[in-house]
C-alpha cells in the first residue's frame, strides 16, 4: 500500500477552549479533525496550576509545516495561560493528498 | 523491557459503519480493537463531500502486514464512497505474540 | 519549533482498574494523564480469556525510563491476571520539561 508520512497532532485542553482551538487549527491549515471527551489531571499551566476535570482531546492529521505552526501557536498563545498540552507523532496515511 | 514493534491502526468513520468495519478488520487479522466516540469535521469523501457529526474512532494494534491489508481494504471499499480516514503508527508493545 | 522527543504510553483496561492504574503510573513518574471511555474486544488475559465491554483508555506522555517502568509494572502485575493492553509510541512535545 502506498502511503504518505504525515503528522498527527493531539491536543488536550479544557472543554471551554474547544471552539477556539478548532478555529485556530483550521486557520493554520488543518483540513479536518476529531474531538473526543476525556478527563484528566496534570500540572501544565502557568504557575504549575493543577487542572483536573472534563477536557477535550482534539486530533488532526496534517503536514509537517502545519503541525509545526500549530505547536508554535499553542506555545505562544495557550501554554502561558491555559492548561493545554499537545504532542506530535509520525503517521502513515493513504490518500495523503486529502490532508494538505 | 523487551518489546516488539507493531502497528497501531486508527480509523475514524461515521458511526453507522462501525459493525461493518469491525467485521472487516477482524477478518483481515486484527486480534482485538477499541472503539471510542468522537465528533469531527473534514472533507474526505467522494466528491469532497463534507462530513460532520458523530463518528467512531477504532484502534487496533496489528502486525505490519495486517495494517497494510486493512489500509488496502479501506482504500478499495470505503474511501471511494464513505467518509472514512485512517492512519498507521509505529508502537512498541509488551507481549507482542498476543497481537499476531 | 523546538520540541523534545518523549514517549506516549496508552493503556486499555477494564474500567474497574482505572483508579489503581492511575495511582500506579503516577507513582512510577507520570506527571499527568488523560482518560477516555472505549468499548472493545480482544483476547489478552490469562488463559486467553476474552474481554468485551466498557474499558478505559489511559494515555500519558512520559520520559523513556518512565515508559519502560510502566510497561515493566504492567507486565509483572497486570498482564498475568487482567485484560490490560498497552503500547508506547514516540511523540514530540513542546515544553518537554513539564513531563519529566
Cβ-Cβ contacts under 8 Å for C34 (sequence gap 6 or more)? A12, A38, A39, A40, A55, A57, C58, C59, C60
C87, C88, C92, best to mutate vs chain B, most B CBs in 10 Å: C87
The pLDDT, as a whole number, for residue C61 is: 97
More confident residue, B47 or A60: A60
Would the CB atoms of B34 and C43 count as touching at under 8 Å? no
Between chains, do C41 and B33 touch, taking CB under 8 Å as contact? yes
Distances (CA, A) of A70 to B8, B13, B33, C7, C64: 24, 24, 30, 20, 25
E strand or H helix at A74 = helix A64-77
Q: Using CA coordinates, name the residue in chain B closest to C89.
A: B91
| Residue A17 grid cell | 477552549
Write down the pLDDT at residue B45: 40
**Cα A54 to Cα A38: distance, rounded to the nearest angstrom:** 6
pLDDT at res. B66: 98
- Does residue B48 surpass a pLDDT of 50? no
**pLDDT band of A81, cuts 50, 70, 90:** confident
Residue range A76-91: mean pLDDT, rounded: 93
CB of A13 within 8 Å of a chain C CB? The answer is no
Q: Mean pLDDT score of chain C, rounded to an integer? A: 88
CB-based contact (8 Å) between C33 and chain A? yes
Of residues A91 and B49, more confidence is placed in A91
Name the β-bridge partners of A36: A57
Of the segments B89-98, C36-45, C56-65, which one has the largest average pLDDT value? Answer: C56-65
Of B43, B57, B79, the CB nearest to A32: B43
Amino acid at each position: 500500500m502506498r502511503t504518505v508520512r504525515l503528522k498527527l497532532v493531539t491536543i488536550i485542553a479544557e472543554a471551554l477552549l474547544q471552539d477556539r482551538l478548532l478555529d485556530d487549527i483550521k486557520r493554520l491549515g488543518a483540513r479536518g479533525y476529531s474531538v473526543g471527551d476525556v478527563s484528566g489531571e496534570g500540572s501544565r499551566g502557568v504557575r504549575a496550576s493543577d487542572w483536573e476535570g472534563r477536557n477535550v482531546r482534539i486530533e488532526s492529521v496534517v503536514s509537517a509545516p502545519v503541525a509545526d505552526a500549530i505547536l508554535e501557536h499553542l506555545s505562544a498563545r495557550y501554554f502561558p495561560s491555559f492548561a493545554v498540552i499537545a504532542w506530535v507523532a509520525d503517521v502513515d496515511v493513504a490518500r495523503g493528498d486529502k490532508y494538505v
